[in-house]
Structure 1
Amino acid sequence: MANLIVLGAQWGDEGKGKIVDLFSESFDLVVRYQGGHNAGHTVYIGEKKFVLKLIPSGILRPGVKAVIGNGVVIDPAALMDEIGQLESAGIDVRSQLLISNRAHVIFPFHRMVEKVGEAREDRVAIGTTSRGIGPCYEDKIGRRGIRMADLVSPQGFEQMYRMLCEDKMTLATAFRVSEVIDFNKILEQYRQFTEKLRPMVCDSASYVNRAILDGKKVMFEGAQGTMLDIDHGTYPFVTSSNASAGGACTGAGVPPTRIDGIIGVSKAYITRVGAGPFPSEIHGEQGDQIRKAGNEFGSVTGRPRRCGWFDVPLLRYTATINGFDSMIITKLDVLDDLTEIPVCVGYEIDGKAITDMPATNEEVSKIVPVYETLPGWKSPTKGITDLNQIPKAAMDYLKFLEKQTGVEVGCVSNGPERNETIIVPGSKLAALLA
């Protein structure tokens, strides 16, 4: 059994929550390394549905330690709400959850800052969830942020908090924000959060590294997807953290030499939430059909996701950035009713084929996708647990994706339940999980 990174190979919402939950049975620790409570992982266990926004999916496995790493930004109110929901479902959160003392803290005024930025007339709206994620990361990079270690410090927190409030009050005045913010009320509220969270706050990097040296098995869980990575995604329509594999090392505090395998999760098609270029997007009735069949609505926001055909050049790009050892294809069953399935196999701009992912939004928006159409299988795949029972046309589709992307398909998910998953015998993934 190896230490693995499991992350999104597209624009997020690929079904990572189910995969991490499924695999976590074989791991001792599951570590979330970036993002905030804008990224929801949905896990179905029987008739129970769990939407996890900050806490790693491993929390649903008794005895597995769930770690929120230093690269995550934490809204204590959202975290306390999530803890409460899990505890009401019988999950022993406080014995399993660890929170990095170096993770940065989101305050209500971060949401105000984000709303102001998105509403400016001279700015292209990114389509954020307005949960304060980006402004919190801004404070982190600006070296004025407040970390969990500061929050739980009886001496230093109030002084740091009031200094940060002064910055936000200045900003609110400059932008003529009419919203009234009661900074003293927020201070008292966060003091109450502190008393409940303090026992779970620790030096998580030291904890994880000691666990690895002791022979424990660790899975690192990414949020969002590679195409939303702040450096390598479709900038500026990206998130505010490194959602690619490199973010696991900085966001969890572990050296690259501790990582044994990198697994990319991809839908059998592709989706995107919010604004930004989307070369293989499907418009009209067929896009609505896939959205309905795949229940493509945000687990946190409820926003409808934009749907498109599988994008081979995009997957090749994210495989290059991350170094995927294996690929997991989810939601194969969503395509069951289609007679034909187009696959984007190339990009053209102004009639010329391009091989590299363009850096600018303007260039990506000009991409004309080149399609190859494969026959559908017109047969249900949902719930099949034996690879030999998958329809031949569906297997041909998977083999086509494997050949075109250069990454093996090591696992197929054909439903939301844990048991609706097939690990391909003899794959690299099967070896990494052995």
Structure 2
Amino acid sequence: MTIEAQAVIGALYGDEGKGLMVDRLAAATSGAVVVRSNGGAQAGHTVVGEAGARHVFHHLGSGSFAGAATHFSRFFVAHPMLLLDELAALDALGVKPETSSDPRAPVTTPFDVIINQALELARGGARHGSCGLGFGETIERNLRPEFALSTKDLFRPDLQDRLVSIRDAWVPVRLAALGITALPAELAAALADETTIARFQADCAAYLDRVTLWPDRRLCERGAVIFEAAQGLLLDQDSGGFPHVTRSKTGLANMLAISAEAGITEINATYATRCYTTRHGTGLLKGEVPVLPGIKVADPTNAPNEWQGTLRLAPLDLGVLCEAIARDLALERGGIAVKAGLAVTCLDQADDGFVVADREEAMQLDPTKAAAHISDRVGLPLCAESWGPRRGDVRLCMDAAAA
């Protein structure tokens, strides 16, 4: 018996239009459940509804406008403090997504945020581009069983004691390991504030009121699965340019592991890329330029900010794109079939004759023919191209063929 799932994966450094592609898939899929397969609240997937409402999805799946439910997999890092704000923002738009979580999903505490921000501030001009939300620090802490905190632990009668232990025993050890001897005044005050734990416990209680515990192995009972990856393949913890990577697997790996538990036998994956390349923070960006020839970059989501700085730009390098996708598709699949296709986004921002890099040479492409050329170079069928920020701006192409 074949049980299929769909997937959207960022092919480069993130910000490739994954939210738009998930929204499009969810609108075409009855009873969809969007599964967050990696990352956490540091994701920022923008969706503009057909009526003009705009939301940047951090926790909730990007299919929410289309009526899809959301599921946090065991690889997703929950952030109760921020989830409640996002739910309130969606409530104001009349969107109330049903939400579930695998009991094993790690949970971010205020102390992970404090350590994360202290580390980035200490790096000064050499910041890695973290969002300062504690994602990587949550992963690090959960490597220590005595300090680990997952969604199921939020029901523990000794939750307060566990949080006190994290504050009093884990934080000093972690700061010392990072070489941080003193915290900035604001962070030090938050760490010392005795109400910090009480406020967090209240957030956790409210989180549990809105999120149903549901194991990944029963995922297909929730609906037709659409995996939504966060970040991009070139930020993968195993294959990205260390140390400027995220603490998660950004491509097929987690999806395959979840599928094995849930009995999913086939994944139809869409790899998304802009028609140019962007990156936040430090790290390699091949062909980086201050201004992109033939591109009018429009990106209100990624405005310059304190933690990630200014969005960096480069022409799309077709060789880099091809290698990143090929590496992901070469993963051991454990008998799960994978079909793959390509989606090219932001074509509405390209003038006639915009530039991409192909075999170390600059090539000018006509935007109306660019997606087909890019997909041909990658060796995948073109499944979608976008000419604007809304679902209706996406042109659907042929179904992805087997990879």
Please classify the TM superposition score into its range, dividing by the shorter chain length.
0.7 to 0.9
Any residues of structure 2 matched to 1:12-411 within 5 Å, and which? Answer: 12-25=14-27, 26-27=29-30, 28-45=32-49, 46-62=51-67, 64-93=68-97, 96-120=98-122, 124-143=126-145, 144-153=147-156, 155-166=157-168, 167-171=170-174, 175-177=181-183, 178=185, 179-180=188-189, 181-182=191-192, 184-199=194-209, 200-211=211-222, 216-250=223-257, 254=261, 258-283=265-290, 285-286=291-292, 290=295, 292-295=296-299, 297-298=301-302, 303-323=309-329, 325-335=340-350, 337-338=351-352, 340-346=353-359, 370-376=360-366, 394-395=368-369, 397-411=370-384
Q: Would the aligned equivalents of 1:17 and 1:42 in 2 still touch at CA under 8 Å? A: yes
Shift of 1:305: 1.6
Shift of 1:277: 0.7
Shift of 1:124: 4.6
Q: Secondary structure at the match of 1:315?
A: helix
Q: Would the aligned equivalents of 1:73 and 1:106 in 2 still touch at CA under 8 Å? A: yes
Shift of 1:170: 4.8
Compute the TM-score of the two structures, normalised by the length of structure 1.
Answer: 0.79
Letter in 2 for 1:418: R
Partners in 2 of 1:120 and 1:194 — Cα distance?
30
Letter in 2 for 1:374: Q
**Shift in alpha-carbon separation, 1:194–1:407, aligned structure 2, 3 A:** same
Percent identity, aligned pairs only, is: 21
RMSD: 2.7
Q: Secondary structure at the match of 1:293?
A: coil
Partners in 2 of 1:47 and 1:123 — Cα distance?
38
Structure 1 stretches lacking a partner, 5+ long: 347-369, 378-393
Partners in 1 of 2:299 and 2:124 — Cα distance?
34
**Shift in alpha-carbon separation, 1:265–1:194, aligned structure 2, 3 A:** same
Shift of 1:281: 1.9
Shift of 1:210: 4.0
Q: Secondary structure at the match of 1:57?
A: coil
Q: Would the aligned equivalents of 1:38 and 1:129 in 2 still touch at CA under 8 Å? A: yes
For the pair 1:422 / 2:395, whether they are aligned, the reply is yes
Shift of 1:79: 0.3
Letter in 2 for 1:224: Q
Partners in 1 of 2:288 and 2:54 — Cα distance?
29
**Shift in alpha-carbon separation, 1:300–1:92, aligned structure 2, 3 A:** farther
**Shift in alpha-carbon separation, 1:185–1:334, aligned structure 2, 3 A:** same
Q: Would the aligned equivalents of 1:8 and 1:266 in 2 still touch at CA under 8 Å? A: yes
Shift of 1:254: 3.5
Q: Would the aligned equivalents of 1:40 and 1:299 in 2 still touch at CA under 8 Å? A: no
Partners in 2 of 1:275 and 1:121 — Cα distance?
11
**Shift in alpha-carbon separation, 1:208–1:29, aligned structure 2, 3 A:** same
**Shift in alpha-carbon separation, 1:275–1:252, aligned structure 2, 3 A:** farther
Q: Secondary structure at the match of 2:163?
A: helix
Q: Would the aligned equivalents of 1:34 and 1:223 in 2 still touch at CA under 8 Å? A: yes
Q: Would the aligned equivalents of 2:292 and 2:313 in 1 still touch at CA under 8 Å? A: no
Q: Secondary structure at the match of 1:278?
A: coil
With 251-260 and 192-201 compared, the bigger mean Cα shift is at: 251-260
Letter in 1 for 2:389: P
Could you give the per-residue CA deviations for residues 277-302 of structure 1, whole angstroms, max 9, x where no partner exists? Answer: 1112223x446x73x53326517958
Partners in 1 of 2:387 and 2:215 — Cα distance?
35
Q: Secondary structure at the match of 1:223?
A: coil
**Shift in alpha-carbon separation, 1:222–1:133, aligned structure 2, 3 A:** same
Q: Would the aligned equivalents of 1:30 and 1:67 in 2 still touch at CA under 8 Å? A: yes
Shift of 1:185: 1.2
Compute the TM-score of the two structures, normalised by the length of structure 2.
Answer: 0.85
Aligned to 1:9: 11
Partners in 2 of 1:208 and 1:246 — Cα distance?
17
Aligned to 1:389: none
Letter in 2 for 1:238: V
**Shift in alpha-carbon separation, 1:299–1:6, aligned structure 2, 3 A:** farther
Q: Would the aligned equivalents of 2:87 and 2:96 in 1 still touch at CA under 8 Å? A: no
Q: Would the aligned equivalents of 2:41 and 2:78 in 1 still touch at CA under 8 Å? A: yes
Shift of 1:342: 2.6
Partners in 2 of 1:345 and 1:192 — Cα distance?
53
Q: Secondary structure at the match of 2:149?
A: coil
Partners in 2 of 1:248 and 1:260 — Cα distance?
8
Q: Secondary structure at the match of 1:101?
A: coil
Partners in 2 of 1:249 and 1:164 — Cα distance?
32
Partners in 1 of 2:215 and 2:85 — Cα distance?
22
Shift of 1:253: 7.1
